[in-house]
Structure 1
Amino acid sequence: MDVIMGLVAAVLWGATDFLVGVNARAVGIRRSVFFGQILGLLLMGLIIFVSANQLEKMLAAPVSALLLGGVGALCTVLGALSLSKAFAIGKTAVVAPLVTSYGVITTLLAWLGGDELSLWQFLGLLTCFLGVLMASSSGKKADEQGSLMSRLPIGFALLAATLYGISFWLQGKYALPSLGPVNMLALGYAVGVIFLMPEALRLMRGWSAIGPRTCATLCCASLFNLGGFTAFSWGVLNGSISIVTVISTLSGGIAAILGYFFYRERLSSFQVVGVSLVLAGAVLLHLLE
């Protein structure tokens, strides 16, 4: 079950990453993120409303868990904005795998917090670092402006990975034990909607200009993301968290494959090796945690 759910999560999250770029180019970065947040909040709110268990858990949670969970949720929203920007201006085949390096930040924060670093995780950190350096290289000479433009999406992707890493560490250490995954997702979406509230009026004013196809991709991105979290959680509850986590990191590779087939994105040899090393490092980071 853990292998199957890990693969399902990887496929759904990979498709989500690909659609994030499509939506950001179609309707704008903030608007596409806001749409995902509001749809997710509605779905999670409905689940909490019909489940007395979840509502009781939310009300019984300590204030510290809610506050730190809120900080983590804000990091997630900022990470989503940064990720959308990276996908909008960069290659999916580079951006998506780089984001999987969020495990580097989570692992480092856990180590600074007193956790021991295993040999596998240490090797994973080094592998990810080397992969990022190689993926950041175009492998050919370029003028100063071209070099800056090629590195800009990489910078946004690494910023997103950093914010996601901080968020996952805060949620895993302080919020999830008290709130549970459903309440944590609802809190995350609520923070996102509040933070992006100015986009609500713009979304309503420009809604008529959004075609059925764009509306469908916006809905699919949000639903695929929720489906990935559901599959991941189901796999963890019914199997090994290490196996599910390792397999789910393949989402970056799946998004890269989609980018190649739909956009015919070409990478230099250095970038191909770098992307492969980032994915391998992400697997090592979660292999024996």
Structure 2
Amino acid sequence: MTQNTPDRRATFLVWGALGIVYVVWGSTYLGIAVAVESIPPMLSGAMRFIVAGVVLGVIVLVKSGPQAFRMTRKQFLGAAGVGLLLLTLGNGMVAVSEQYISTGLAALLVASVPLWLVVFRFVVRDRPKALTLAGVLVGLAGVAALSLTGAQGGSAVGIVVILLASLSWSVGSFLSSRIAMPSNAFAASTVEMLAGGAGLILLGSGLGERLDVSAVTGRSWVALAYLVLVGSLVGFTAFSWLLGNAPISLVATYAYVNPVVAVVLGALVLSEQVTMQIVAGGLVILVGVALVISTERKGRRPGPDEISEETSDKARGVAREEARAEG
């Protein structure tokens, strides 16, 4: 009885944190759509990540002290570069795309990120298993089906932009585990958010975006506050805790649960149309992603309290970078 109590508490905490990641990150697509109703997309992202980066930086300083931010120039530039790929180009283009396509369609196409990561691994001679490649082919077939048909969820422009966003996320995630990065994950996230936010200001201003505060609705301000406090801070904190306390195979399930949550919320809150094309194409993508993730994690079958060094260094590192983009 005494021994089982800590186990039950740990299980409850794991599923509680996982539930937060499922719902919070699935809802960020809805939050972005509402925010860009009256705030320019690039500038809305800039405000989101700069505020979140400052808040996270202060928390890190209070908890860990200035030493948490000790990093070499190479590590700083690595984190800044990843921030530009994930947040400026990745998340920024998601915000732009949601002016043209539904949140559900955006989330389903972004779910293809794990598939592109496998493609990049293949290019650099890291040969994935046959089942992994099969999952990639299945998933990309779903992406092609949704992209070519439009799935009645938006324009071709929006689809092209969201696919470019997914590609940028994938490149950032792929490089993050292969370049010098700050040793403290939260310090790295702070640099990424601030660099990504600064990049969004420059890009948005260069493209002619201007913020008219008087034109911003209360609904958009609430959505932006939600993205900062809940999407970026609460969601990422829960995810980071999961990386140290749960099997990576379980944590990785967020990749195919978030799109489902996004589709449901888009239909319920924004009355977005969920067509049979979206359902069918989305299911194909998620089956491919699930096959990739499950096959990649089968090698050693680590338990909840035992994760191999390889899983820790590679799988967690890439998962963390995907998560920074997601949240």
Q: Same fold (TM over 0.5)?
A: yes
Match of 2:81 among 71, 80, 86: 71
Q: TM-score, normalised by structure 1?
A: 0.86
Choose which of 270, 273, 277 in structure 1 pairs with 2:277.
Answer: 270
**In structure 1, which of residues 113, 120, 142 is the aligned counterpart of residue 124 of structure 2?**
113
Distance, in Å, in 1 between the alignment partners of 2:114 and 2:91 is 16
Q: Which residue of 2 aligns with 1:287?
A: 294
1:137-148 equivalent positions in 2, closer than 5 A: 137-138=148-149
Alignment of 1:2-17 (within 5 A): 2-17=14-29
Where structure 2 has 5 or more consecutive residues not aligned to the other structure, the ranges are 1-10, 297-327
Q: Is the 8 A contact 2:42 2:96 kept in 1?
A: no
Specify whether residues 57 and 42 from structure 1 end up closer, same or farther in structure 2 by C-alpha distance, changes over 3 A only: closer
Aligned mate of 1:46, from 46, 50, 58: 58
Structure 1 unaligned segments of length 5 or more: list them: 141-145
Summarize the Cα distance change of 1:139–1:22 in structure 2 as closer, same or farther, 3 Å threshold: closer
2:99 to 69, 88, 106: 88
Q: 260, 265, 278: which is aligned to 1:258?
A: 265
Q: Deviations over 1:110-136 (max 9, x none)?
A: 333343312342122112111012212
Shift of 1:265: 2.2
Cα distance in 1 for partners of 2:19, 2:130 equals 26
Contact 1:124 1:282 in 2 (8 A): yes
Q: Give the alignment's TM-score, normalised by structure 2.
A: 0.77
Q: CA RMSD in A?
A: 2.6
CA deviation after TM superposition for structure 1 residue 270, in Å: 2.9
In 1, distance between residues paired with 2:284 and 2:211? 44
For 1:90-114, what per-residue CA distance to the aligned partner results, in whole angstroms no more than 9, with x for missing partners? 0112111110111122222233334
Residue in 1 that maps onto 2:310 = none
Task: Between the two structures, name the one with larger relative contact order (CA 8 Å, sep ≥ 6).
Answer: 1
Secondary structure at the residue paired with 1:90? coil
Per the alignment, do residues 69 and 109 of structure 1 end up closer, same or farther by CA in structure 2, a change over 3 Å counting? farther
Letter in 1 for 2:64: A
In 1: Cα distance, 2:119 partner to 2:80 partner: 21
Q: Using the TM superposition, name which of 161-170 and 268-277 deviates more.
A: 268-277
**Residue of structure 1 aligned with 2:161, choices 138, 156, 163:** 156
Cα pair 1:246 1:282 within 8 Å, conserved: no
Deviation, structure 1 residue 288: 3.5
Q: Once the 2 structures are TM-superposed, how far is the Cα of residue 282 of structure 1 from its aligned partner?
A: 2.0
Aligned position for 1:230: 237
| 1:172 corresponds to 2:177 | yes
Instruction: Tell me the percent identity.
Output: 22
* Aligned mate of 1:221, from 227, 230, 233: 227
CA contact (8 A) 1:15 1:224 kept: no
Maintained 8 Å contact 2:38/2:217? no
Q: Take 2:147 and 2:158, find their aligned partners in 1: how far apart are those partners?
A: 10
Greater share of residues in helix? 1
Alpha-carbon separation, structure 2, partners of 1:245 and 1:150? 30
SS at match of 1:136: helix
Q: Report the 3-state secondary structure (helix = DSSP H, G, I; strand = E; otherwise coil) of the residue aligned with 2:194.
A: helix
